[in-house]
Amino acid sequence: EPDLAAKLAGLLGAGPKREVVHALDHVDLKVMPGEVLGLVGESGSGKSTLGRIIAGIWNESEGSILFQDKERKKLSGAEKRAAELAVQMVFQDPMSSLNPRMRIGDAIIEAPIYHGIVAKADAEAYLSDLMRKVGLDPAYAKRYPHQFSGGQRARIGIARALAVKPKMIVADESVAALDVSIQAQVLNLFMKLREDFGLTYLFISHDLGVVRHVADRVAILYLGRIVELAPAEELFSTPNHPYTQALLAEVPRVDTGKRQFKPIEGEIPSPLNPPSGCHFHPRCPLAMARCKTDIPALREIAPGRLSACHLNG
């Protein structure tokens, strides 16, 4: 049984000012309870749009989001609120969502008190417990956001999301701004919390190294379409789609000799005016005539593996 399913057709993604921010096209994604689904794409792929729609921050203009088999936009009252609280988002820069003049303890505890998840009398104990669980000293509750390091702020952002007892967390580039060693600590925290709270994750990142570290399954998004979806191990060992193959192409770094991912040749086309046929055709080394005109369907190429490429027949 999927925890959450997104079926989004056509152009969508209405931001706060109601402008359409990105095109997502026939995205059909199911997130299973307890899994970490990695969502990978370059900038302009629509991955943040998809994450915000799934987290309920933006509304889908077409299509539907189902949470535990119920279409979310048809819910009202307590059911709607429960569905909204069930999926929480952790952003790249928690500073942008923290009030600089609010003590971080208050920032963490305000939502659960507001939503009646914790009684005021129990708030302090609840907060201390939460802070310990994300690796923050409860004594820091009285401090202000600027008094914390990047890694600690990431933990504060995670605590705020966890505070309302979500079932699922959408992590959008949540470790992108951190040093590599701190990244690893925060990723390990995410994985520990998955065990402690039985969480499901949608883990959005442009960084394949990060996704490889945490994901059970990986979806690759290119200009608003999912082009490949596979168990993580298989995707990394035998990528099917030429775009995934290009993403995974590694080159040694000139300075350190360490291997790194090689940027794909060619510009990323505008997501608002994507190429015809297969969106990837202008950059694809294997493109054929039909790739310019025919949209390749996302089809099962092996059990549990989907790919959208005409080379698969």
Residues that bind ligand SF4 (CB under 6 A): 241-242, 278, 280-281, 284, 286-288, 291, 296, 309-311
- Shortest Cβ distance from residue 44 to Mg ion (Å)? 9
CB closer to ligand SF4 out of 108 and 220: 220
Buried b (16+ CB within 10 A) or exposed e, 150-189: bbbbbbbbbbbbbbbebbbbbbbbbbebbeeebbeebbeb
Burial level of 2, CB count in 10 A (0-12/13-18/19+)? middle
Which tokens in the block code for residue 195?
């065990």
- Contact positions vs Mg ion (CB under 5 A): 48
**Closer to Mg ion by Cβ: residue 108 or 204:** 204
Instruction: State how far the Cα of 221 lies from the Cα of 39, in Å rounded to an integer.
Output: 7
In angstroms, what is the minimal distance from the CB of 227 to ligand SF4?
7
Nearer to ligand SF4, 41 or 242 (CB): 242
Which has the closest alpha carbon to 147: 136, 158, 160?
A: 136
Q: Which residue is nearest to Mg ion (CB)?
A: 48
State the binding partner of 48 from ligand SF4, Mg ion, none, CB within 5 to 8 A by kind: Mg ion
Which of ligand SF4, Mg ion, none does 251 bind, CB closer than 5 to 8 A by kind? none
* In the complex, least distance from residue 206 CB atom to Mg ion, rounded to whole angstroms: 8
311 makes contact, choosing from Mg ion, ligand SF4, none, with CB < 5 to 8 Å by partner type, with ligand SF4
Quick one: 76 exposed, middle or buried, by C-beta within 10 A (0-12, 13-18, 19+)? exposed
Closer to Mg ion by Cβ: residue 83 or 90: 90
Residue 4 burial by Cβ neighbours in a 10 Å radius (0-12, 13-18, 19+): buried
